[in-house]
Each structure stands twice: as structure tokens, then as C-alpha cells.
Amino acid sequence: MATTNLPRILLLGANIANSASVTIHQQLSAKFNKSYTYDICELAENATINALTHIMLSSNLVGANVTNPFKRLFINNNYKLCPVAISTQAVNTIALKDGNFYATNTDVLGFKQSLAICELNLAKQHVLVLGSGATALSVIYACQQLNISAITIVGRNASALNNLVTTCRKFLSAQVNLQAINASITRLDNNSLPDIIINTTSAGKYNCLPAYIAQLKLKDKIVFDVNYPPYNNLLAQYCTAQKVRRYIDGKTMLEQQAVASFDFWFNAY
């Protein structure tokens, strides 16, 4: 069967040349005996929703994955959003069927499944979330479902941090203690850090860690990093030097959200 006749999926994002998603979907294709192609579509960071929609319509796709910085572009457009996408204000998976765009956010399920696989229980825990972007929202939404007791969010962009808190308050239980810290003006108190820290930033991809992360004292802490090799290298090295109790990278989360995306494309519609 010619590959041109196979169902086609694209990964839409910027700076994604090293993404592990292509390999993961090749493995899923074999595991579930479902032939399809999965290709990277590298875009400029300033690509518009119209440009992304045009790519999908002109590429004869059955679906797409969306990664940063485009996860929020598909909200309030002509896309049929699942409840989880509405609540998190983020989209990472799109299915095309009969001229319609159906969108969801499988990062939430991917994060929850990875915690179960890694046997990390967040119930009744206080969690520190680093970052104020779309992935942070997905993680916090999942944490709410996992019955955490408190969340402290740390970010450097005041506007993004305020928007994140506003969205979180719409779905967080009143019993969850929510605190936000602008790391640009407030230094974190290492004496009061929670035992579980979840990094949703791109820290580790570049030549140095952000100052507010590099000053964290992480000895005996549990660090969950949504990034994976090679994107997590610097933060992983820092955690090793800090003698964390446990460091978990995001490869399992990526694999589990890929399974959820596969189900959305081929089984949901």
C-alpha cells in the first residue's frame, strides 16, 4: 500500500526537530496494527491560526498534534472543543472529519497516566509548578483531578501568571490552596519549598537555567520535568548535582498523551 494513501498526521510546532513523537507514533502504528504517517511540520514561532488551519486543510490530514507555542491558538476559533480543552484553554490534538475540526488536550491524561506508571501519588500533596504557559494549565487541571491540597505557581511573566491564575480558579476546588509567585520580583524561600516540584518550562533546553530555578535547593525533593532528552539535559544535571530524591523526565508523559491522541484520531469520530 502506497504511503500516499495512508492516513496522515502532522506535528505542528516550532523548534521541534528533535521531537520523539515520530518514533513514538511509529511504535503505536505497529502496536495497534494501524498504518498511518506521522510527520513534523516545523513552523515559525509567529505563525497564525489561519496559517495553521490552511496547512491542515491543504495536507489531506486525518489529524494533527499541536505543540508550543501554538496550543492556545485554537481556542475561540471554528474548532469543536472538548470540555478538557475548554477548561485548560489549550489544544494539543486535532481530528479532521467531514470538514469539521475536533480539538482536545491529551496532555492532561498523559500527565495523569505517567504519574500512575511512575507510582507518584499527588493526593493531599502541596505541589510547586514552575511555569505559566499552556502545559502548566494542563498539569494543574490534572492535579485538581488527583485531589491535591495546595498549588504554588511560579512564573516570570506577570500577565501570563495572572491569566493562568484566573483560568485555574474557574476549575479548582475551593479546598485547594492556590498561590502565585512572580519570580521576577520575589525570590523563592527554599525553606518552605514543597516536596514535589513540577517543571513545565523549557528550562534545560538552553545554555543556562533561569536564575529563579538555579537558586532552588532541591535536595531530597521529587522533581517531575515535562521535558525529555535532549530537551531536559541541563535541568536533569542540576537535579543530579542537587541530590534530589527522585527525578522523572517527561518521556512517559509524551508516550501516554500520544496513545490518547491516537485514540482521538481513530476511535473517537
- The fraction of the chain above a pLDDT of 90, given in percent, is 80
CA–CA separation, 236 and 113 (whole Å): 21
Same domain, 95 and 162: no
Same domain, 64 and 150: no
Same domain, 96 and 20: yes
If one counts every other C-beta atom within 10 angstroms of the C-beta of residue 193, the result is: 16
Measured CA angle at 152 (ends 211, 214), to 5 deg: 15
Q: At what angle do helices 21-31 and 251-266 cross, to 10 degrees?
A: 50
Same domain, 30 and 124: no
Q: Looking at residue 4, what is its pLDDT?
A: 62
**Integer angstrom CA distances of residue 198 from 41, 175, 226:** 28, 20, 8
The residue annotated as part of the active site, out of 71, 112, 170, 221, is 71
Same domain, 140 and 213: yes
The tens digit of pLDDT for each residue in 230-243 reads 777 889 999 999 99
Same domain, 91 and 119: no
Same domain, 57 and 189: no
**Residue count (the chain):** 269
Same domain, 123 and 225: yes
The answer to whether residue 1 scores a pLDDT higher than 90 is no
CA–CA separation, 65 and 160 (whole Å): 23
Residues 234 and 209: beta-carbon distance below 8 Å: yes
Q: What is the CATH number of the domain that holds 88?
A: 3.40.50.10860
Amino acid (one-letter) located at 220: D
Q: In the predicted model, what is the mean pLDDT of residues 192-206?
A: 89
Report helix, strand or coil for 235: helix
Domain residue limits at 261: 3-106+253-266
pLDDT class for 251, splitting at 50, 70, 90? very high
Same domain, 13 and 66: yes
Same domain, 114 and 125: yes
Report helix, strand or coil for 32: coil
Establish how many alpha carbons lie within 13 A of residue 246's alpha carbon, considering only the half-sphere containing its beta carbon.
11
Q: What is the CATH number of the domain that holds 123?
A: 3.40.50.720
CA–CA separation, 155 and 168 (whole Å): 14
* 269 CA to centre of own chain: 23
Same domain, 72 and 192: no
Same domain, 121 and 99: no
The tens digit of pLDDT for each residue in 84-112 reads 999 999 999 999 988 889 999 999 999 99
* pTM confidence score: 0.93
Q: Which residues pair with 80 in a beta bridge?
A: 102
Q: Looking at residue 2, what is its pLDDT?
A: 41
- What is the count of structural domains for the chain? 2
The tens digit of pLDDT for each residue in 137-188 reads 999 999 999 999 999 999 999 999 999 999 999 999 989 999 999 998 998 9
Residues 202 and 177: beta-carbon distance below 8 Å: no
**Is 71 a residue of the active site?**
yes
